Chains A and B, each alone.
Chain A
Amino acid sequence: MTDSVLHMDGISFKRGRREVLKGIDARFERGVFHAILGPNGVGKSTLVEILAGQLEPDAGTISLSGTPVRKLSARKVARQVAVVSQSHDVRFAFSVRDVVMMGRHPHIDRFGSPSENDFRLAEEAMAVADIHHLADRPVTEVSGGERQRTLFARALAQDTPVLILDEATSNLDMKHTLSLLSVVREKVKRENRCAVGVFQDINTAALFCDHFIFLKEGHVAVSGSVEETLTPETLREVFGVRARVMHDETTRSRQVLFNAGGFHD
């Protein structure tokens, strides 16, 4: 593919003695919203952390527009790739606005001051994430979902060609999940960016993403367009569940209906 920005070649990773990832190859392209799916403990988050340069793989290379990430400074990577992680415990009482403004850090010179543009991007990101009313509240005192939206806004303010979402919406309510993922999709399509998301909820992923990568036991089980990959067979193979896959005319997306008690071994 021509427009591929992120490459993973033969990525392996061990946690202790357990081999979490066993030689993963993947391409992530501009203009495409990718979803990474798979059962718990299959290494989705590890994969994303490696992709974001937060973990070093034991083997294999990640390249960003053709250059191995290992050879790039953290700052250069941060100008290209933004990450929304699951919100974690924050112990220092920065204001929500301060945290969002930190997204501009890789773009501001060490001795420089933020430009009008930096402020504008941060304000826009806060508006999109619906946290404007919280801007001056300490991030330690807002709710978990609000903190998650703050981290989302920070990544949007980072304004990078590649956006990585690590279960970024798993603790958000429906309305904010839909609105934030719509914004991401719009940026992917209109501004030709690349997005990669780890999802638990297949239907949410099916609403917004174009390309599915299913992981199973440290391998890529199935990878391809939603139409090709989102089938009862895939769901049975990867998750061990029985399900029906419907086409929803209104949203023009595939949606999955699960059968209660329909487990496989």
Chain B
Amino acid sequence: MKNRVRLVLGKFRAQIKIKPAFKVAHLAAGGIEFFTRTLMEGPPMTIATESMRKQRSSLALVKGPGGLLCLFALLFGAVLLSARMGFVEFSFGEVLSALWHGVTGSEGQTTAAETARVMVWEVRLPRILTAAAAGAGLAVAGAVYQNILLNPLADPYTLGVSSGAAFGAAVALLFGMGKAVLSVPLFAFGGGILTLFIVIAMASPSGRLLRCGIDSSNLILSGIMVSAILSAGLSFMKYLADEQVSVIIFWLMGSFAAATWRDAAILSGVTTAGFLLFLFYARDLNLLALGEKSARSLGVDTSKTVFILLVAASLVAAVCVAVSGIIGFVGLLVPHMVRFVTGPDSRKLLPATLVIGAVLLLFADTVTRAVLPYEVPIGVLTALIGGPVFCVIFRKSRMGGGA
């Protein structure tokens, strides 16, 4: 295993050449133009023509700037709605003025306004933004996994990345490193990425990591096996943890209850960075969806691209898990559902997945925070809803109707 990881790392290093500064500048300029154009006009129509445009308009959920704006408006609306709900209900006006006070850093003029500011800005908003960013990150990472691994059923959870991250985080918590600012996320990331490599190495034929096509059912099987081993390891650590055990258990079930502005910032930062990277590789992702060999013959440097994307997706997923605990099914279901509407083109799929993932997890968190009489851990809620939907998708794809 160590050899294989080293092999991939070596290859990766060999492929990154230091580019002259002007080339980097050119790339950066092109990138900025690309992103602004994508936001203004929708994704460039590299792989679409007139009739494709017509087809898009008939499916018009995500269509050009209008679609994207609608999606972000939806997200903003969801944030506002969620911010007014809870133990104390506020009006939209109160929420907006609380936001204004929060952004400007001023205090509310009246006691009521000040209460609203504290509740909305200091208690609810960090949690809301963390939930939204985690949902977006998990969903986008799931979309990338599914695309690269040619499997509509792949996600951070089925691949064992979540379990690996959980194991890593539990190690950090057990050894009392939970107080150091970044140690839990770092351990979670390390655990997640290591698990990913073990799973891929187990599933790939003839030991050629990331070179030959990996059989996707093998991949899921090895994911499940590794997850099972890791969960045994987790149980052992819970057994060892004594009085720390509640910290670990609480953390594992997933919750945004303790989310802070710092969590929100870390998560949104990592998710945004990952998303921009994925968007940068969106066209390569499309080619990879037809298989690695085919992508290579069309000029994608597959081993490098796949490596970068898998590591980035695992980073995003692992950081989400590190901050929020294990939240399953978001990364599996959201891209799958969005694909029904946008089609498989990553340039449309990724932005839509980002927003829908954010809205859905925010919705689930709001339900458990403000609607249910007792707060149910969010991981439990998403699994309760996601599990049956997963079964339906599995059944459909077994019957040959996979998207």
- Spell out A's residues near B (CB within 8 Å): 15-16, 49, 52-56, 73-79, 81-83, 85, 88, 90-95, 97-99, 101-103, 105-106, 108-114, 119, 122, 135-136, 151, 154, 158
Contact = CB atoms under 8 A, between A and B. Distances in A.
Contact of B152 (A91, A101, A113): A91
Contact of B297 (A53, A119, A122): A53
Contact of B55 (A88, A99, A108, A136): A136
Contacts of A53: 296-297
What are the nearest 3 A-B pairs in CB distance? Answer: A78-B299, A106-B299, A75-B299
A15 to B, nearest CB: 7
Contact of A93 (B48, B299, B344): B344
A74 B300 contact: yes
Given A91-B152, A110-B30, A16 B46 contact: no
Given A74-B301, A93-B343, A136 B51 contact: yes
Contacts of A98: 47-48, 52, 286, 345
Interface stretch (B74-82, B169-177, B230-238, B287-295): B287-295
Contacts of B51: 97, 135-136
B403 A93 contact: yes
Given A90-B290, A94-B343, A136-B51, A111 B297 contact: no
Give the residue among B296, B298, B344 with the most A Cβ atoms within 10 A: B298
Contacts of A73: 299, 301
5 contacts: A73-B301, A75-B300, A98-B286, A108-B46, A111-B34
A264 B299 CA distance: 44
B290 A99 contact: yes
A103 B31 CA distance: 23
B296 A102 contact: no
B150 interface: yes
Contacts of B34: 110-111
B49 A105 contact: no
B297 A101 contact: no
Contacts of B302: 74
Contact of A110 (B283, B289, B296, B297): B283
